Amino acid sequence: MDYRVESSETLRNKCAACYRQFNKIEHLVEHMRTSYHSAHEPTCGICKKHCRSFESLREHLIGPLPKQECRNIFSTRGCKFCLAILDSPYALRVHQDRCQLSGANAGLLGRFANLGIRDNTENGSTRGTQVVALACKMVGGGSDGSLDLCAKVCLIDEHENIIFQSYVKPLLPVTNYRYETTGIRPEYLRDAMPLRQVQKKIQDFLCNGEPMWKIRPRGGKARILVGHGLDHDLDSLQVEYPQVMIRDTAKYPPLMKTSKLSNSLKYLTQAYLGYDIQTGIQDPYEDCVATMKLYMRMRSQVHKTEAYPLASDPQNRNNFASWRQNELERMSPEQMLEASRSDYYCWCLDSRDM
């Protein structure tokens, strides 16, 4: 009899999202207050466990210590790229053929783009573009060549068409061209576009006629900017852009290795898109294509629609307030999960504004 009571109590104190168990209900409430579980977290298609990132979900399914039941099903019906569970092995084969992407065209087009400056920033065909990806290639400056200087930049639209690509003449002298990875020679930069001119072209195209102070996440003309490690790229270009308009694959929680450690773009492309990049001489166009494909894959995920999806939304700020402690302790784990909201902006929300 005592065992049943204890079992029932343990079940009541079990998180409905990550399945952690707590001795006391107040400990579960505190866990829900700080974990920010939501419908936007990567979720196991078998046991429905919520994970903080796709890396955690991958560990759960095929890591060194996976959940055995989930591993068995995933081994026959699970996509190794998007981690979805299909209805049958045949459905998996059909799905995985579509899910594994190819980078061959990206490399080929990138080589053609090397032939000269491509500037479509004022072309009428780019007027309706809402999402763009940016990547830079750096050469070295300073006495030891360790200072990153942007020497080539690429900007593409969501269909992988080049909007702008150019060599860039840095403000400081180049002391290391890093030819083995950049393929850049001194003569390429001799008559290259000056950094200030590149900065203005990119800044103007991103803002799309809107003053910086007026840019807002929804309803404006400014464009969403996609990339990997964009803080570094924007800093090297001396371009300022609001964080609310930036989608960085190095900082997006579902794509990170841990809460504070990013995955490389090379790894993300291989693991989630199924092809290799950055082999030999690297092209910024190839990086742009990879980040755009990652963004589109994350954006296309279908999650439960919520009127106010973020924990920071004013309507959600008191969901787990300390003055509601008694009320929260009377809730079931499922009710608490229903009230919980995400602490990051899920990219699936972008698709609702387009």
| CA 6 to the chain's CA centroid | 42
pLDDT band at 10 (very low <50, low <70, confident <90, very high): low
Exposed, middle or buried: residue 219 (CB in 10 Å: 0-12, 13-18, 19+)?
A: exposed
Tell me how long the chain is.
Answer: 354
Q: Residue 297: which residues within 8 A CB-CB, separation 6 or more?
A: 82, 272, 273
pLDDT of residue 5: 44
Specify the pairing of strand 162-169 against strand 193-194.
parallel
The predicted structure's pLDDT at residue 187: 93
Q: What is the pLDDT of residue 6?
A: 45
State the pLDDT confidence band at 266, using cuts at 50, 70 and 90. very high
Name every residue whose Cβ is closer than 8 Å to that of residue 158 and which is 6 or more positions away in sequence: 129, 130, 131, 132, 133, 292, 296
Spell out the domain ranges in the chain: 13-100+307-344, 127-300
Q: Please determine, for residue 112, whether its predicted confidence score (pLDDT) is greater than 60.
A: no
- Output the pTM of the full model: 0.91
Runs of H (alpha helix) within 130-277: 179-182, 186-190, 195-207, 230-237, 265-268
- On the question of pLDDT at 149 being above 60, the answer is yes
**pLDDT average, residue stretch 6-16:** 72
β-bridge pairing 224-227 and 246-248: parallel
- What residues form DSSP beta bridges with 132? 157, 225
CB half-sphere exposure, 110, CA atoms < 13 A: 25
C-alpha to C-alpha distance for 183 and 211, rounded to whole angstroms: 37
pLDDT at 125: 64
Mean pLDDT of the chain: 90
Give the lowest-confidence range in 102-116, 185-199, 269-283: 102-116
Q: How confident is the model at residue 341 (pLDDT cuts 50, 70, 90)?
A: very high
Q: What is the pLDDT of residues 70-103, one digit of tens each?
A: 999 999 999 999 999 999 999 999 999 999 987 6
The pLDDT score that the predictor gives to residue 351 is 86
pLDDT at 309: 94
286 vs 160: CA distance, rounded Å: 10
> Are 69 and 61 contacting, i.e. CB atoms less than 8 angstroms apart?
no
Residue-wise pLDDT for 238-256, tens only, equals: 999 999 999 999 999 999 9
What superfamily in CATH does domain 127-300 come from? Answer: Ribonuclease H-like superfamily/Ribonuclease H (3.30.420.10)
What average pLDDT does the segment 171-191 reach?
92
- Convert the pLDDT of each residue in 184-240 to its tens digit: 999 999 999 999 999 999 999 999 999 988 998 888 899 999 999 999 999 999 999
